[in-house]
Amino acid sequence: MNSTDVWHYALALFLVLTGIGLTYMLVRLGGTLLEVTVSLKQVMTELVPMLGKTSVTLDHVNDELGKVSHITDSAVDAADKLDHSVRTVSAAVGKPVKAASGFTAGVSGAFSSFKARRDQRGGAV
Protein backbone atom coordinates (compact mmCIF):
# COMPACT_ATOMS: atom_id res chain seq x y z
CA MET A 1 0.00 0.00 0.00
CA ASN A 2 1.47 3.25 -1.07
CA SER A 3 0.63 6.84 -0.10
CA THR A 4 -1.84 7.23 -2.96
CA ASP A 5 -3.89 4.32 -1.65
CA VAL A 6 -3.92 5.86 1.83
CA TRP A 7 -5.18 9.11 0.39
CA HIS A 8 -7.87 7.28 -1.53
CA TYR A 9 -9.02 5.43 1.59
CA ALA A 10 -8.97 8.63 3.63
CA LEU A 11 -10.98 10.43 0.96
CA ALA A 12 -13.44 7.55 0.75
CA LEU A 13 -13.84 7.54 4.54
CA PHE A 14 -14.34 11.32 4.50
CA LEU A 15 -17.01 11.03 1.80
CA VAL A 16 -18.79 8.22 3.64
CA LEU A 17 -18.81 10.21 6.91
CA THR A 18 -19.99 13.32 5.04
CA GLY A 19 -22.80 11.29 3.43
CA ILE A 20 -23.84 9.89 6.83
CA GLY A 21 -23.79 13.38 8.37
CA LEU A 22 -25.81 14.86 5.51
CA THR A 23 -28.29 11.99 5.66
CA TYR A 24 -28.74 12.53 9.41
CA MET A 25 -29.26 16.27 8.93
CA LEU A 26 -31.74 15.76 6.08
CA VAL A 27 -33.73 13.24 8.13
CA ARG A 28 -33.85 15.74 11.03
CA LEU A 29 -34.86 18.54 8.64
CA GLY A 30 -37.60 16.32 7.20
CA GLY A 31 -38.92 15.66 10.70
CA THR A 32 -38.90 19.36 11.46
CA LEU A 33 -40.77 20.16 8.24
CA LEU A 34 -43.31 17.44 9.07
CA GLU A 35 -43.91 19.02 12.50
CA VAL A 36 -44.27 22.47 10.87
CA THR A 37 -46.79 21.06 8.41
CA VAL A 38 -48.83 19.44 11.20
CA SER A 39 -48.72 22.67 13.24
CA LEU A 40 -49.86 24.72 10.25
CA LYS A 41 -52.77 22.35 9.64
CA GLN A 42 -53.84 22.65 13.30
CA VAL A 43 -53.57 26.42 13.17
CA MET A 44 -55.66 26.54 10.02
CA THR A 45 -58.33 24.27 11.47
CA GLU A 46 -58.60 26.56 14.50
CA LEU A 47 -58.13 29.83 12.63
CA VAL A 48 -60.86 29.41 10.02
CA PRO A 49 -63.73 29.09 12.56
CA MET A 50 -62.24 31.94 14.59
CA LEU A 51 -62.21 34.15 11.49
CA GLY A 52 -65.84 33.21 10.85
CA LYS A 53 -66.78 34.24 14.39
CA THR A 54 -64.84 37.48 13.97
CA SER A 55 -66.72 38.21 10.77
CA VAL A 56 -70.06 37.65 12.52
CA THR A 57 -68.95 39.88 15.40
CA LEU A 58 -67.93 42.64 12.99
CA ASP A 59 -71.32 42.35 11.27
CA HIS A 60 -73.06 42.83 14.63
CA VAL A 61 -70.84 45.80 15.44
CA ASN A 62 -71.65 47.36 12.06
CA ASP A 63 -75.37 46.87 12.73
CA GLU A 64 -75.04 48.59 16.10
CA LEU A 65 -73.05 51.42 14.54
CA GLY A 66 -75.85 51.83 12.00
CA LYS A 67 -78.33 52.16 14.85
CA VAL A 68 -76.10 54.72 16.56
CA SER A 69 -75.88 56.62 13.29
CA HIS A 70 -79.68 56.64 13.06
CA ILE A 71 -79.92 57.89 16.66
CA THR A 72 -77.42 60.67 16.04
CA ASP A 73 -79.25 61.64 12.83
CA SER A 74 -82.48 61.87 14.83
CA ALA A 75 -80.73 63.97 17.48
CA VAL A 76 -79.37 66.31 14.81
CA ASP A 77 -82.85 66.65 13.28
CA ALA A 78 -84.33 67.39 16.71
CA ALA A 79 -81.64 69.99 17.40
CA ASP A 80 -82.29 71.63 14.02
CA LYS A 81 -86.03 71.74 14.70
CA LEU A 82 -85.42 73.17 18.18
CA ASP A 83 -83.09 75.80 16.73
CA HIS A 84 -85.72 76.76 14.14
CA SER A 85 -88.39 76.97 16.86
CA VAL A 86 -86.18 79.12 19.08
CA ARG A 87 -85.39 81.44 16.19
CA THR A 88 -89.10 81.74 15.33
CA VAL A 89 -90.09 82.45 18.94
CA SER A 90 -87.19 84.87 19.31
CA ALA A 91 -88.24 86.74 16.18
CA ALA A 92 -91.91 86.77 17.27
CA VAL A 93 -91.08 88.01 20.77
CA GLY A 94 -88.28 90.29 19.61
CA LYS A 95 -90.45 92.58 17.45
CA PRO A 96 -92.89 93.55 20.23
CA VAL A 97 -90.00 93.91 22.68
CA LYS A 98 -88.23 96.22 20.25
CA ALA A 99 -91.45 98.20 19.79
CA ALA A 100 -91.97 98.42 23.55
CA SER A 101 -88.33 99.41 24.00
CA GLY A 102 -88.73 102.11 21.36
CA PHE A 103 -91.91 103.35 23.00
CA THR A 104 -90.22 103.37 26.40
CA ALA A 105 -87.24 105.23 24.99
CA GLY A 106 -89.60 107.75 23.38
CA VAL A 107 -91.52 108.29 26.62
CA SER A 108 -88.25 108.57 28.55
CA GLY A 109 -86.97 111.11 26.03
CA ALA A 110 -90.20 113.09 26.25
CA PHE A 111 -90.06 113.19 30.05
CA SER A 112 -86.39 114.19 30.05
CA SER A 113 -87.13 116.89 27.50
CA PHE A 114 -90.09 118.05 29.57
CA LYS A 115 -87.96 118.07 32.70
CA ALA A 116 -85.16 119.95 30.95
CA ARG A 117 -87.60 122.64 29.80
CA ARG A 118 -89.13 122.82 33.23
CA ASP A 119 -85.67 123.26 34.79
CA GLN A 120 -84.92 126.01 32.28
CA ARG A 121 -88.12 127.92 33.20
CA GLY A 122 -87.41 127.65 36.86
CA GLY A 123 -89.78 124.89 37.79
CA ALA A 124 -92.98 126.43 36.38
CA VAL A 125 -94.88 124.62 33.74
What digits encode the pLDDT tens for the residues 61-95?
999 988 888 888 888 888 888 888 888 888 787 77
Provide the H-helix boundaries in the chain. Answer: 3-121
Rounded to whole angstroms, the Cα distance separating 97 from 22 reads 103
Interatomic CA distance for residues 13 and 90, integer angstroms: 108
**Do 125 and 118 form a contact (C-beta atoms < 8 A)?**
yes
Q: Is the pTM of this model over 0.75?
A: no
Q: How does pLDDT run across 20-70, given as a tens digit for each residue?
A: 999 999 999 999 999 999 999 999 999 888 988 999 999 999 999 888 888
**Residue 33: strand, helix, or coil:** helix
